[in-house]
Amino acid sequence: MKHPIAKTKNNVAVYVDLVNSQAAVHIAQQPYLLGLVKELLGQLKAEGPRVRVDQNMGRNIGYNYVVETTEKDTILYAQRLHDETFTRFVKNGMPRTTQYLTVILERDEDGSYQLQDTWVGRLSPPRPGSQHETTRSKPFWATHAFVLDGQAVQLRTVTKVCPYEN
């Protein structure tokens, strides 16, 4: 179901699927994200098949749950609910306040954009093993993780062994 959000600075419509997208998961957890995304889109000139951007919103807008890790941290890996890609988590990590909002848009057949994902925090490389993995994914996620803070994970997938090491 297409839910219109706003138009970009260059007048391209953007919508979100509030049922079957990763953005829907984050918006359900933090409904104020829709307002922030609308604000960001009004400043964004979107071009190309895929747009990945983080924007400084000029004020604190929430907490970034992706943090840098050290060898002293307790790390585990798990698949989040309805996700086949493993995520790296840190136990006892502390999220940090941030002014950044990230959006990922993909162009649709009709020329509009679908909001694929959005979150409070900086843009980071896709997770290793995901559809959009890049050469920066493994090095980044070897030193960063999501703060484990009540996320719904598939318990049978929890492991301390990195599932994407060579």
Domain-wise residue ranges, the chain: 2-157
Whole-angstrom distance, CA of residue 96 vs CA of residue 58: 16
Q: What is the pLDDT of residues 75-123, one digit of tens each?
A: 999 998 878 999 999 998 899 999 999 999 999 999 999 999 999 999 9
pLDDT-derived band at 135 (thresholds 50, 70, 90) equals very high
pTM as predicted: 0.88
- Collapsed DSSP state (helix, strand, coil) of residue 34: helix
Closest of 21, 13, 3, 18 to residue 41, by C-alpha: 13
Whole-angstrom distance, CA of residue 25 vs CA of residue 40: 19
